[in-house]
Chain A
Amino acid sequence: MNVTLIFLAVIGAIIVWWLSGQRLTSKPWLETGSVQLPDHHGADRQQPPVPAVKIGLFVFLGVVGALFSLAVSAYFMRMASADWWATPVPRLLWVNTAALALSSVALQWAKREAEHGRMESLRPVLSAAFALAVFFLVGQVQAWRELTAAGYVLADNPANSFFYMLTGLHGLHILGGLAVLAHTTVRAFASDVQPDRLRLSIDLSAIYSHFMLAVWLLLFSLFAGWANDFVDLCRTLLT
């Protein structure tokens, strides 16, 4: 459960940082009628406040992060048993990783185009981001097929089981993101587009995409075995 505890520590640090700006030491019973807003709120007044959807997305990413850190915790705990042997990493995964990274880059680019209001260049970039993410998913399914064809089936070995389960969970999250991205892309091509809402949607898609890329890179390093060396190193340092 170490991975989970580290994740929780990070979340806890974020919560403490946020709470520390909320005047938790104030004495509300003495402050009738007036209140000083916390400093960073005061700064926000100049800029428009953060939209609720964006806060909602960050909270949701916290939930998704908890989900994957727990799954990875389970991975490490199960790995300690004797019947574990690593699943080979199909070459295709490298291509998929590149596609997902490019999709993320494209979204970041789309975000910049949207901020400058360049609709003409925005549309192809957004479509490219969508296509690359679809390519990633198709590639993942193809990687599954290669592994199965090579005899690495789901129930054969715990490493295989985890590989399929984790890539499956990750794929489902990408699929959910794709549904939203598809909606945004279609909207970008509409004639009566509202630039403000489009900008926000692209911004949110970009954040989600970067997060899922980060999760994938961690999972990939896990499957490739690099994370194991790191864990071994930590273990030797601790003991």
Chain B
Amino acid sequence: MVEIPSGSAGAIPSAEVEDVELYHPKSWWTKYVFSQDAKIIAVQYSVTAISIGLVALVLSWLMRLQLAFPGYFAFIDADHYYQFITMHGMIMVIYLLTALFLGGFGNYLIPLMVGARDMVFPYANMLSYWIYLLAVLILAAGFFAPGGPTGAGWTLYPPQAVLSGTPGGKDWGILLMLTSLIVFIIGFTMGGLNYVVTVLQGRARGMTLMRMPLTVWGIFTATVMALLAFPALFVACVMMLFDRLLGTSFFMPAIVEMGEQLQHGGGSPILFQHLFWFFGHPEVYIVALPAFGIVSDLISTHARKNIFGYRMMVWAIVIIGALSFIVWAHHMYVSGMNPAFGFFFATTTLIIAIPTAIKVYNWVLTLWRGDIHLTLPMLFALAFIVTFVNGGLTGLFLGNVVVDVPLSDTMFVVAHFHMVMGVAPILVIFGAIYHWYPKVTGRMLNETLGQIHFWTTFLGTYAIFFPMHYLGLLGVPRRYFEMGETAFVPPSAHTLNIFITVMALIVGAAQMVFLFNLVWSLFRGREAGGNPWRATTLEWQTPQTPPAHGNWGKELPVVYRWAYDYSVPGAAEDFIPQTVPASGGVTREVPA
């Protein structure tokens, strides 16, 4: 036992945090549409992201239908198939996952969790959403443009992306895609500045960095990374627009198209790959780090136990963020670059496994002997760990040059990245929605519908992506519209493809249950009260639920403890909110 008298290390700083002047909406329009309240903006971001995500879901159905029943659906030809692939990938990675984690959860949770009234620049925050919406509309316009959206693959590699052989290459498709990305990055920068500066400057009294919930740490670090990585995509998009529209040769080598020598010459497609993946690899962690943070909070809350190794978790987040900037070329092992680079990048890639593994162990050790409540958020968090470990381990395979080269163009890679950065973060998003929906709306989501949604999604996505590894090992190529006569692929692979497609249709349908639940519970859900999960973090301590404009009523909260005081020995309840002061000398069991 160690006695820690309160006030021994100096009291809570007496200096008042500057209370911000809030913008008070004057009409319905400025309250609900052109709102500067981060909570409304968060809902706007989330609804937009989920809506465009549904389009991407339907596109994945269409792709799967073609792969399982080639030639059966006359309206899916090769061009359409490539357009579906491209739009599915781009929407899911950027317009759904990035926007939902940072724009949606970031906006909702950062001010509430650090004890601020709102973001520090509410006006820029509002602009950020409307610019994001514009980017989504430009992207979606591709479906209606002459020639359709671009079919260049989500990596948009030149020179094929801007040539006539690729759908949308000489039409509107690629132009709309590049413009949309540029607009998205401008909008994101406005939001990102908000998230970073709010964490730096908007924290309540007593909320030191090491008292912040890991959710905020994850979103904060991911935002810093995104602010540094997105400029690479920005530069690449601008240069490719120049190549396509103004005839420059940044990326375009001398090339003959349809028997005609183009005026381009000397450009370097590899240069594009470097720029793209300098953005592209941090992007994986921009999606993963918020998921890591959120899942830590879900596990701790629903296992009624403090997070194991909080300090190590924070360090791991920061180290992963830093390392992810020096691994980008592991996406380019087959680009013909210097083999010595391959060795360097394989090493850095494998080093990332260390902090990541620390996080996984800490989640498991948090569960160990915890009072585990198998609530929906907990189920999704557990499913995340299983899925993430699976996808992470195949990442170790692919991080090695000699293993990657033969597997690079097969379904194995598709299975890997869907497991690790598709399904795993999406499971966290679902868990987070089930967890925070009561705070956003004041009502609980329906448990039965949630159980149906969880089990179908979790088992279904496993049924989709686990066999895909096997297809990859057989040598089934990715990106192919149809396989045709291929001697080395056994007929059983085809049966497996049909199975995967059926599962994909079922999992997609299960998401409709989830959407129905979101709408139904808004009106019919059980009243949640202020703190249904009996959680410690600040967002559950607001005077109103849903939190009112300005979040905290008259007085800003004061933080007296870290975010994970669950099951404290000797305490009356199994959780102590961060706003509860220490009563006299607190004794705490500390292992010697």
Residues of chain A within 8 A of B4, CB atoms compared: 30-32
- A22→B211 CA distance, assembly (Å): 11
B263-322 residues with Cβ-Cβ distance < 8 A to A are 263, 265-268, 271, 274-275, 278, 306, 310-311, 314-315, 318, 322
Chain B nearest Cβ from A121, distance in angstroms: 31
Return the CB mask of A145-160 against B: 1 if under 8 Å, else 0.
0000000001100100
Closest to B226 in A: A63
- A24→B318 CA distance, assembly (Å): 11
Chain A nearest Cβ from B322, distance in angstroms: 6
- A35→B581 CA distance, assembly (Å): 12
Return the CB mask of B205-234 against A: 1 if under 8 Å, else 0.
010111100000000000010011001101
Contact partner, A34, options B12, B227, B314, Cβ 8 Å: B12
Asked if A71 meets B209 with Cβ closer than 8 Å, knowing A81-B268, A158-B267, A161-B249, the reply is no
Residues of chain A within 8 A of B10, CB atoms compared: 34-37
Asked if A56 meets B121 with Cβ closer than 8 Å, knowing A28-B562, A33-B7, the reply is yes
Chain A contact residues: over half helix, strand or loop, or mixed? helix
Interface range on chain B (Cβ under 8 Å from partner): 35 or more
A12-51 residues with Cβ-Cβ distance < 8 A to B are 12, 15, 19, 22-37, 45, 49-50
Interface assignment of B242: CB less than 8 Å from any CB of chain A: yes
B558-592 residues with Cβ-Cβ distance < 8 A to A are 560-562, 564-565, 581-582, 586, 588, 590
Closest to B207 in A: A35
- A35→B315 CA distance, assembly (Å): 20
- A36→B13 CA distance, assembly (Å): 8
Chain A nearest Cβ from B238, distance in angstroms: 7
- A26→B9 CA distance, assembly (Å): 12
Asked if A33 meets B561 with Cβ closer than 8 Å, knowing A155-B263, A158-B266, A161-B248, the reply is yes
A55 touches B201 (CB 8 A): yes
Residues of chain A within 8 A of B326, CB atoms compared: 5
Interface assignment of B246: CB less than 8 Å from any CB of chain A: yes
Return the CB mask of B181-211 against A: 1 if under 8 Å, else 0.
0000000010011001100111000101111
Asked if A36 meets B9 with Cβ closer than 8 Å, knowing A28-B562, A155-B263, the reply is yes
Interface assignment of B455: CB less than 8 Å from any CB of chain A: no
Contact partner, B586, options A4, A32, A59, Cβ 8 Å: A32
- A113→B30 CA distance, assembly (Å): 39
Contact partner, A1, options B242, B274, B565, Cβ 8 Å: B274
B248 touches A158 (CB 8 A): yes
Interface assignment of A165: CB less than 8 Å from any CB of chain B: yes
Closest to A28 in B: B562
Interface assignment of B487: CB less than 8 Å from any CB of chain A: no
A12 touches B247 (CB 8 A): no
Residues of chain A within 8 A of B120, CB atoms compared: 52, 56
Interface assignment of B239: CB less than 8 Å from any CB of chain A: yes
Contact partner, A8, options B13, B193, B228, Cβ 8 Å: B228
A52-89 residues with Cβ-Cβ distance < 8 A to B are 52-53, 55-56, 59-60, 62-63, 66-67, 70-71, 74, 77-78, 81-84
- A22→B314 CA distance, assembly (Å): 12
Residues of A in contact (CB 8 Å), total 53
Interface assignment of A11: CB less than 8 Å from any CB of chain B: yes
Residues of chain B within 8 A of A165, CB atoms compared: 238-239, 242, 248
Chain B nearest Cβ from A168, distance in angstroms: 9
A71 touches B246 (CB 8 A): no
B266 touches A62 (CB 8 A): no
- A32→B208 CA distance, assembly (Å): 12
- A50→B202 CA distance, assembly (Å): 12
Residues of chain A within 8 A of B209, CB atoms compared: 22-24
Residues of chain B within 8 A of A50, CB atoms compared: 201
Asked if A83 meets B266 with Cβ closer than 8 Å, knowing A31-B9, A34-B7, the reply is yes
Residues of chain B within 8 A of A19, CB atoms compared: 318
Contact partner, A35, options B9, B192, B248, Cβ 8 Å: B9
- A19→B268 CA distance, assembly (Å): 39
- A213→B565 CA distance, assembly (Å): 50
Chain A nearest Cβ from B227, distance in angstroms: 5
B325 touches A8 (CB 8 A): yes
Asked if A82 meets B266 with Cβ closer than 8 Å, knowing A11-B228, A29-B310, the reply is yes
Chain B nearest Cβ from A205, distance in angstroms: 17
Closest to B198 in A: A52
Asked if A35 meets B206 with Cβ closer than 8 Å, knowing A19-B318, A62-B228, A70-B232, the reply is yes
Q: What are 23 pairs between A and B in contact, CB < 8 Å?
A: A8-B228, A11-B228, A15-B224, A19-B318, A28-B310, A29-B562, A30-B2, A31-B562, A32-B6, A33-B581, A34-B10, A35-B9, A37-B208, A56-B121, A59-B197, A74-B235, A74-B275, A77-B268, A81-B266, A83-B265, A155-B246, A155-B248, A165-B242
Give me the 8 closest cross-chain CB pairs, A-B, nearest first: A33-B582, A83-B266, A28-B562, A33-B6, A155-B247, A67-B231, A161-B248, A32-B582
